[in-house]
Amino acid sequence: MRFSLLATSRNLPVILLFTAAAALAVTHRSGAAVNAHHGSLLQGLTSQETCSPSPGPAVYCYEVVSPTSNPNDYVYVTGINNGQQINSAYSSSTAGPYTSSIGIPTSKTNSNLTGYGFTPEPDGSLSTYLTGLSSGHTYQVGYQVYPTHTQGVVYDGSHWFPVQDPKQGSLTCAVTEVLGVHDSRIAVGFYETTSTSGTCIKHAFEVYSSASDGSLSPPYTYVDLTPTDPNGGTLDVDSSAATGVNILGDVVGTVTWGSGGSQQDGSWIYRFGKYTTFCLYKSSTLYEMSHTCIPSAGARPTYTNGINFSDLVVGDFIDSLGHQNGFALLTPWKSTAIATVIDAANSINTVLWGVNQATGMYQDVYFTGWATSAGAKPVGIVGYCPAGHCGSTSSPDLPRHRSERH
């Protein structure tokens, strides 16, 4: 299930599903030489840590995390930073209201996922969704739902700053959501406008602070992002959203193109001023990455939700049964990128939402998300991949300057 933040699984109104260690949504195509590794997480969705080696070098460990003790609550874990702090959204019903919380590790080591202390962070809105946090826990971002509109938000630990793109629509399309942030004072998300048919259309954007004190407080500057279809065109793009940004300024998100029965969903990355669209596709028993996204060749709807310092992206894709599967992919602009599929054991849907920046040479990669088993409510997931197994030690390019990006 996907969160209201993008279309949510197209069902659930909350964002984030991570299934630790490897993930967030990516999309596909065929023809790419790829090694797809499959990992299993959370045997039986128990509360204890489970480690599972997968074919190839990847090793993943996961645990179920919840800020409540009620097994009937809906829980989505979203952002995670290098200190293993997390944020989340939870509710006693799918309709809300949702409350967000920050989770602080109480007994963590680099190889131990046990122990979180949660603090609710309500803001007075109908529902609050925190969708990401910066590496130093300086800023959290998300959105607030009110009866008349939905507005993005930046939270600095004591103040809630509203974020509303000046181009957003009215009535049901009066929506701005912030989905990702980094310490470089760049946040990303989407706003909605009204189409000629009366439906709401999503538009990806970046937002920068113009504050003189170096914070991420107002006033804000909004810059549209324009992801393309797999052929590099924009005329048939129906909607888009930016979901994650890393310390280098690389941005990832989702895009819908085509029309009618040919409409397709895929992922994109913006890097060095160039958009690259990609999808996952079924090839034999493996899911591979492709830049062409052709459904007749097996391409699946793919959604990328997070990105780290090494350009490891995480997300989810929809299989032929209509189920969500978590995945992780390193350097998706390369045709040889390796995709790892990560599904919680006994789950129907698994979504990976967040990944820490992992900027240390030997630092473990941590992930967040959620999973749903048959007849059960979604549960939050936190996991990690030991250093050296998830691409965290690869050498990134030099930081991108804004002048190179717009």
Domain boundaries, the chain: 37-404
CA angle 384, 206, 215 (to 5 degrees): 80
Q: How far apart are the first and last CA of the chain?
A: 33
Count of C-beta atoms within a 10 Å radius of residue 273: 10
Residue with tokens 């930046």: 154
pLDDT single digits (tens) 206-235: 999 988 888 889 999 999 999 999 999 999
Q: Are strands 274-283 and 299-300 parallel, antiparallel or unpaired?
A: antiparallel
Give me 145's structure tokens: 């739902």
pLDDT at 11: 35
Burial class from Cβ neighbours inside 10 Å (0-12, 13-18, 19+) for residue 143 reads: buried
User: For residue 400, is pLDDT > 50?
Assistant: no
pLDDT value at 285 more than 70: no
Q: What is the DSSP letter of 10?
A: T
Q: Which pLDDT score is estimated for 145?
A: 93
- Do the beta carbons of residue 339 and residue 287 sit within 8 Å? yes
Q: Distance between CA atoms of 387 and 389, rounded to whole angstroms?
A: 6
| Residue 255 · residue 277 · CB < 8 Å | yes
- Choice among 192-196, 279-283, 348-352 with the minimum mean pLDDT: 279-283
What pLDDT band is residue 388 in, cutting at 50, 70 and 90? low
* All residues at 6 or more sequence positions from 83 whose CB lies less than 8 Å from its CB, including other chains: 105, 136, 137
| Closest CA relative to residue 253, chosen from 233, 281, 282, 224 | 224
Entry pTM: 0.84
Considering only 12-26, 98-112, 380-394, which range has the smallest mean pLDDT?
12-26
Higher pLDDT: 13 or 216? It is 216
**221 neighbors 206 (Cβ within 8 angstroms):** no
Range with lowest mean pLDDT among 94-103, 226-235, 379-388:
379-388
Nearest to residue 390, comparing CAs of 27, 52, 29, 58? 58
What does the block give as tokens for 393?
């030690």
Query: Cα–Cα distance between 251 and 205 in angstroms, integer?
Result: 10
**Which one-letter amino acid corresponds to residue 272?**
F
What is the pLDDT at residue 362?
A: 52
pLDDT above 80 (res 406): no
As to burial, measured by CB atoms within 10 angstroms (0-12 exposed, 13-18 middle, 19+ buried), residue 213 is exposed
Task: Please state, as a whole number, how many other Cβ atoms lie within 10 Å of the Cβ of residue 83.
Answer: 15
Query: What region does 45 belong to: left with phi over 0, alpha with psi -120 to 50, or beta?
Result: left
**Contacts for 260 with CB less than 8 Å, ≥ 6 apart:** none
- pLDDT at position 15 is 30
Mean pLDDT of 302-323: 92
* Architecture of domain 37-404 in this structure: 6 Propeller (2.120)
Main-chain dihedrals φ then ψ at residue 180, nearest 5 degrees: -150, 155
pLDDT higher than 50, residue 193 = yes
Percent of the chain with pLDDT over 70: 74
Arithmetic mean of pLDDT, 96-110:
76
Mean pLDDT for all residues in the chain: 77
The two counts, helices (H) then strands (E), for the chain are: 0, 28
pLDDT, position 66: 85
pLDDT at position 386 is 59
- Over 80: is that where the pLDDT of 340 sits? no
- Identify the residue with better confidence: 193 or 93: 193
pLDDT at 316 over 80: yes
User: Rounded mean pLDDT of 387-393?
Assistant: 48
Select the more confidently predicted residue: 59 or 325. 325
Residue 375, Cβ neighbours under 10 Å: how many?
A: 6
For residue 57, the Cα-to-chain-centroid distance in whole angstroms is: 24
Alpha carbon separation from 100 to 6, 75, 307 (Å, rounded): 18, 10, 22
Better-scored residue on pLDDT, 335 or 107: 335
Dihedral angle computed from the Cα positions of residues 109, 110, 111 and 112, in that order, rounded to the nearest 10 degrees: 30
**Residue 350: Cβ within 10 Å count:** 30
Which band of pLDDT confidence, cut at 50, 70 and 90, is reported for residue 301?
very high
Residue 100: Cβ-neighbour burial (10 angstroms; 0-12, 13-18, 19+): buried
Per-residue pLDDT averaged across 354-366, rounded?
76
pLDDT at 108: 56
Q: Which two structure tokens, joined as six digits, stand for 282?
A: 């079924």
Is residue 56 predicted with pLDDT exceeding 50? no
Residue-wise pLDDT tens digits, 178-187: 999 987 789 9
Q: Which residue has the tokens 């109908």?
A: 126
